[in-house]
A = this chain, B = another copy of it.
Amino acid sequence: MSRILRVAAAQSGPIQKAESREAVVKRLCALLDQAHADKVNFVVFTELALTTFFPRWYMTEQSEVDQWFEREMPNAATRPLFERAAKYKIGFYLGYAELTEDGHHFNTAIMVDRDGKIVGKYRKVHLPGHSEFDPERAFQHLEKRYFEPGDLGFPVWRTMDGIFGMAICNDRRWPETYRVMGLQGVELVALGYNTPSVNSQKPEEGPEKRLFHHNLSVQAGAYQNATFVIATAKCGDEDGHPLFGGSCIANPDGDIIATANTEDDELVAATIDLDDTKFNKETIFDFKRHRRIEHYGRITAQTGVTLPE
């Protein structure tokens, strides 16, 4: 059985605060049209793909917060996206803010197969930022205020002829993210992100250094777990706040095989063979032969640093 797929990062340009979900879905559908024309089978949309990156805005009224969340998926605004993807037989990853029936708030992504069926859900585990207004930052990053940490772990799913996993934005900097999926044989990790071009606590860092950290984290995760990673940005200037682009596809050797050229809506496609994950999984990263869990205890036994005496 051939496991060759045509995949794409479907990068989103900026979404201003005033833009409606309906307008955004039209843009995502246009990316699907491009994907269809390019014979793509699987598309990764971004994190919080339906709205502006609202965690930069400090809000104190819960009703104001909740307007950024989806109560069901698909819903009236997103149904056209699901229908078009199913028509084209394109599977996809989509990130959005999830408000559950019992009132929980998560930064969520779903995996949808080529028949339009939701086959998996992931809720962001590594929430960056802070929970209270921070006057010392150049701008706010209130993910810890508006979301609860994900409660589903890092599952993987057999879908689209492979083993697929999901992660969201800051998760990509944490090797634990990839490793937990690697220990389930993951072959493709889909990941969306919204990452400011400016470090709110270190303005001199600069966008090039930040893009380097992004690439480094994606490439190391791909190599060290012998998996493809598709990382998709929302980027550009949202109401005066720049987000960097750099959507990319990394192969199981850690090479970036396709990358975005713009900070706007852009399809970044590549043809991949899921069987290319095998060599490294069976040799240098044959976990069963080489890992020594008796020496890894601190990784799960302690959250923070314990300094030596």
Which residues of A are interface residues toward B (Cβ below 8 A)? Answer: 125-128, 149-150, 153-158, 163, 170, 173-176, 179-180, 182-185, 201-202, 209, 212-213, 216-217, 219-220, 223-224, 253-255, 279, 281, 283-293, 295-309
Contacts and interface: CB of A to CB of B under 8 A. Distances in A.
B157 A308 contact: yes
A184 B309 CA distance: 10
Contact of A287 (B217, B254, B283, B303): B303
Contact of A174 (B254, B291, B304): B291
B150 A216 contact: no
Contact of A298 (B149, B180, B224, B286): B180
Contact of A279 (B157, B170, B202, B297): B202
Contacts of A284: 128, 170, 173
Nearest to A144: B289
A297 B307 CA distance: 23
Given A212-B254, A293-B301, A299-B299, 11 more contacts: A150-B295, A155-B308, A156-B308, A163-B307, A174-B224, A179-B296, A182-B305, A185-B305, A288-B303, A300-B300, A300-B301
Given A180-B299, A220-B220, A300-B300, A305 B288 contact: yes
A123 to B, nearest CB: 10
A304 B292 contact: no
In the A-B complex, the 5 residue pairs with the smallest Cβ-Cβ separation, listed nearest first, are A288-B304, A220-B220, A175-B175, A183-B298, A153-B295
Contacts of A296: 176, 179-180, 299-300
Nearest to A163: B308
Contacts of A287: 303-305
B292 A254 contact: no
Interface-centre pick from A201, A213, A295, A302 (highest chain B CB count, 10 A): A295
A300 B299 contact: yes
Nearest to A212: B254
A269 B157 CA distance: 47
